[in-house]
Structures are given as structure tokens and as C-alpha cells.
Amino acid sequence: MGFVQRNNDIVLFEDFLKPETTALCWKRVITNASKIGKGLSRDTKAHILVSKHWIEVIDTRHRYGNNLQLYYKEWFKSSTKQHFFFWLDFGDGKEVDLEECPRSKLDQQCVKYFESKEREYYEYEVVDGKILHNITRKLLHHVSPQLKYIFVVSISKKLYIGEKDKGIFHHSSFLAGEASLTAGRLLVEDGVLKRISPSSGHYKPTEDSLERFLSFLKENGVNLDEVQIRKANEDFES
């Protein structure tokens, strides 16, 4: 998996993650960690989650990565010999309660990770230029441009779309942390794509990966001349 440096010591990434709890918990940690690079062997241009969010995938409760990072920094500064998750939940750090992210917020904001059957509810297809639900066959319609609608394209080129809920529902939710072809934000009205952007803090997709997806959309009848294509750092709402 790799290495991390802590207190001037180089340690195996697996050892850094190893929780000192039960064998079952350790098995779940290993299973979760294996998902991070899943799919890369099928497409070398795929994107894995940015490294700071690996901690969210590996956590057996999938607590929001940005929150976990704050506690990770406290662990990193400490002199403890305890592994991070043990320190956080059972060890010396279990009473740590950060002002910028109270323990109550850390424990409440657990990102939903979907299994294969669950993610089917969020799967959409592009048919004759229109985006429709894979099961109900209803055209996708976003009721408000002010809400954040996010999408992910899997390695098998399946399109998943849903409404972002900070700390609960993110790009990492759809594929349970697995690699993706691209990800971002979009706006769809009556099945017609109106706006799209490669904006994702979890995957950090490139403009090139968005272009690949746009080519796929064009091949399936989407008129890109009528689509507002934004860069990741541009204001999506304006």
C-alpha cells in the first residue's frame, strides 16, 4: 500500500492503519482499504480518491474525511505509540474534542457508502440525448439550481447521480471509495443536461477526464452546444 512518515520514523501504511481492537474490525479495515485502487487495472486513466480521503474509506464507520483529518493531525503531533483509529476511539485520543470539529460532529457525519444493489437507485442512462433513471425510466429533473447535484462515472461507464449532503452523501458514496472515470457536478432539467463541471474534492478529476465523458455524452445524442461547461474552480451557479 505504501509508507507514511511520523515523528521522523518511516512505517508501513498498513501498520499505521492497523487498529488494535478485534480481528473482525481489522478484516473490515483491510477490505475497505482494498477498494481505494479497485478498477485501476481496467483503466489506467481512472481516478482514485485523493490521499487525504483514504482515511474516510478505511474507517469502518466512514466518518467524513475532512473531519477525520483534523483528528489525524492531533494524533500526528502526539507522542503516542497507538495506531490512529485505536487512539481515536479507544485510546489516548478518545477524550479529544476539537473546537473546529466537536466529537459529536465527527461521530454524526458518517458518509454513506453504497453496495452494488444500493447504488442501482442512483444509476442513470443517456438515451437519445436525454438522461433518465435506469429503473423507473423517468427523465431526470433537478428542481433547484441552488442544490448541489453530483455525479460519478464508474470504470464500467455507469453513470450515478444524486444530491450532495455534506458529511453524509459525497462523490465517494456512489462507488464506496472505488476508482472512477470522472466525477463532478451537473444540472439536468427534464432530462436535458444544462450545466456540468469536473468539481469533486474527493476525486479531483482532470479536464481531460471530463472531456472523455463529454465525448461519451455526445455519442449518445447530447447536444453539447447547449451545455454550460464549467471548470472545477469556476462558480457553478452563475
Burial of 77 (0-12, 13-18, 19+ CB in 10 A): exposed
* Residue whose C-alpha cell reads 455507469 in the numeric block: 158
- Residues 95, 127: one domain? no
Is the pTM higher than 0.85? The answer reads: no
52: nearest Cα among 73, 35, 32: 73
Q: Domain residues for 183?
A: 116-229
**Residue 43 domain flag:** no
- Residues 159, 180: one domain? yes
**Residue 236 domain flag:** no
Q: Which of 89, 108, 127 is the last residue of a domain?
A: 108
**Residue 53 domain flag:** no
Residues 6+ apart with CB under 8 A from 205: 47, 180, 182, 183, 184, 198, 232
CA 131 – CA 40 distance, rounded (Å): 27
Phi, psi of 175 (to 5 degrees): -105, 15
**Residue 189 domain flag:** yes
Q: Which of 108, 132, 164 is the last residue of a domain?
A: 108
- Residues 175, 194: one domain? yes
User: In terms of residues, how long is the chain?
Assistant: 238
- Residues 140, 181: one domain? yes
Residues linked to residue 197 through DSSP beta bridges, in sequence order: 185
Q: Which of 108, 139, 164 is the last residue of a domain?
A: 108
- Residues 187, 93: one domain? no
**Residue 55 domain flag:** no
**Residue 177 domain flag:** yes
Give kind and range of the element (H or E) at residue 108: helix 103-108
Half-sphere exposure of 60 (CA within 13 A, CB side): 18
SS3 content of the chain, % helix, strand, coil (to 5): 30, 20, 45
- Residues 164, 185: one domain? yes
Angle (CA) 176-203-19 rounded to 5° is 50
- Ordered per-residue pLDDT tens for the chain, 238 residues: 343 444 433 334 444 444 444 455 545 555 555 556 555 545 667 788 888 888 998 898 999 999 999 999 999 999 998 888 889 999 999 999 999 999 999 999 999 999 989 999 999 999 999 999 999 999 999 988 788 999 999 999 999 999 999 999 999 999 998 889 999 999 999 999 999 999 998 999 888 889 989 999 999 999 999 999 988 777 777 6
- Residues 154, 126: one domain? yes
- Residues 120, 91: one domain? no
pLDDT tens, 155-195?
A: 999 999 999 999 999 999 999 988 899 999 999 999 999 99
- Residues 133, 200: one domain? yes
- Residues 203, 132: one domain? yes
- Residues 173, 129: one domain? yes
Please give the grid coordinates belonging to residue 100: 473546529
How crowded is residue 190: how many other Cβ atoms within 10 Å of its Cβ?
A: 11
Domain tally, the chain: 2
